[in-house]
Amino acid sequence: MSALLFLLAAVAVLAVWAVAIYNGLIGLRNRCENAWSQVDVQLKRRYDLIPNLVETVKGYAKHEREVFEKVTQARTAAINAANVKDQGLAENQLAGALKSLFAVAEAYPDLKANQNFLMLQEELAGTEGKIAYARQFYNDTVMKFNQKQQIFPSNIIAGMFRFQLREYFELEEPAAKEPVKVQF
Amino acid sequence: MYEQIARNKRRSALIFAFFLLLIFFLAAAFGELTGMGTGGLVFAALIAGGLSFLSYWKSDAIVLAISRAKPVTKEEYPFLDNVVEGLAIAAGVPKPRCYVIDDTAPNAFATGRDPAHSVICVTTGLLQKMNRVELEGVVAHEMSHIKNFDVRLQTLAVVMVGIIALLSDWIMRSLWWGGRGRRSSRSGKSGNAGSILLVVGIFFAIFGPIIAHLLRLAVSRRREFLADASAAMLTRYPPGLASALRKIAEDKEPLEAANKATAHLYIVNPLKDLKGAVNRLFSTHPPVEERIAALEKM
């Protein structure tokens, strides 16, 4: 009788433990999703800022059409990118195009003193920082999630319910890791 | 990390419980001495409950008011707002509210009772003198204090120890004058007033060291090193914070809105005058050179 009770108690403890680990894994998976959508939020914010910026610069520097086109094209390419890898490349082109846009702005003192332009510049720098931090946080969260799937004893539960390891965000192309060269 | 959070929460609860008891005791003693009888106990309980409630839920507002900090919007300070939001994302905490102190001495602190109700406060001098990576380092340091629940412990310590000091001062004074009044009117009671003063003296002799110990719980030097290390983890760029610390330390101007009670909240001691032996004894921050050296080794 007491042996049966003991067995029941052991099973109950095991069940509670398994539920706790399972819930922990689900929580981490959702946090990964959330962290990834944070990146998208910031990327979208940047795409929204760019047309305003281009318009402001156009008001002072009408003749730099080539630069404006480059920025607009890179933005469209980045928005329409089908997968993460393409997006990474398009993002990089966009960053390069924006750099040349700001280089152009250097030649127009009136523009550099424009309050609206200064605000957009700060906004863009801030958003770029946030994109980087959002990606970093995504990778931190993925590391926690993957680690929980791999270490004992939570790996047993993860294996039973077929949790998948998540991929880190990284820039795959070696060229994308190098700073963009701007030539005039 | 989680251990640190648990310890901070435990210590906050300890300070809170101690504060509640002490206020109750002080108020009850006050009621007894002024002859309020059982009504005095109810009065004591009300005061203890009210003050504890106030100092737990409003401590951040009290600290901000003492420091003459004003809430600011994104439109007024886009630079600060963007940096704070970026690091909140990196730390995975809700974005703290931004406050600014109008003072040219560069410094910063964080307050609040938990990450969802937190505030990062910087001086206008900090915003003028720091570049982006330096400001990111400073904000990351404060963000680590928020994430670790250091802010709850430190803010509670400031407000509760402050209230206790204020109340004990008030009671001592009222006893002193009350005793003198009674002595002059009824000369036979003078022995009674003297013994009351003696009791109060013993009371503070006992509780003085305990209060000092509570403050020490909140202001450990390890906490600052830990926040520096976590800040480096958040920005992945230790030189930013190192350079910011150097700039803040080299600035010789004292921060006017800071005082002895709030000094330990700031990223670098805002009082600057660390000459006397007493000041060094109560020094709340490890030397900036040591912190910079630790950051440069990362």
pLDDT tens by residue, B2-61: 777 888 888 888 888 888 887 777 777 767 666 666 677 787 788 888 888 888 888 889
Residues of B designated catalytic: 142
Domain span including residue B30 = 1-298
Cβ contact, residue pair B136, A119, below 8 Å: no
Which residues of chain B have a CB within 8 Å of the CB of A141?
92
Find the closest chain B residue to A139 by CA distance.
B90
Amino acid at B10: R
Sign, CA torsion A151/A152/A156/A157: negative
Query: CB of B236 within 8 Å of any CB in chain A?
Result: yes
Q: Read off the pLDDT of residues A95-147 as tens digits, 9 standing for 90 and up.
A: 888 888 888 888 888 888 888 888 888 888 889 889 989 999 999 999 999 99
Structural domains of chain B, count? 1
A139 chain-B contacts, CB cut-off 8 A: none
Stretch B184-201: mean pLDDT, rounded?
54
Share of chain B above pLDDT 90, in %: 32
Contact state of A137 with B132 under an 8 Å Cβ cutoff: no
* B92 contacts A122? CB cut-off 8 A: no
Classify the complex by whether its ipTM is higher than 0.85, answering yes or no.
Answer: no
Q: A-chain residues within 8 Å CB-CB of B79?
A: 122, 126
Query: With bands split at pLDDT 50, 70 and 90, how would you rate the model's confidence at B187?
Result: very low
Cβ(A154)–Cβ(A142) below 8 Å? no
Chain A closest-CA separation from residue B89 CA (Å): 6
* Cβ-nearest to B90 among A119, A125, A133: A133
Q: Does B83 touch chain A (CB under 8 A)?
A: yes
CA distances from B255 to B103, B105, B126, B173, B292 (A): 7, 5, 11, 31, 21
Characterise A45 by phi-psi region: left (phi > 0), alpha (psi -120 to 50), beta (else).
Answer: alpha
If one compares B282 and B253, the residue with the highest pLDDT of the two is B253
Q: B82 vs A123: CB contact, 8 Å cut-off?
A: yes
**CB-closest option in B82, B89, B92 to A122:** B82
User: Could you tell me the pTM of the whole model?
Assistant: 0.81
pLDDT recorded at residue B190 = 46
Q: Find the chain A residues whose C-beta atoms sit closer than 8 A to any C-beta of B.
A: 31, 35, 38, 42, 119, 122-123, 125-127, 129-130, 132-134, 136-137, 140-141
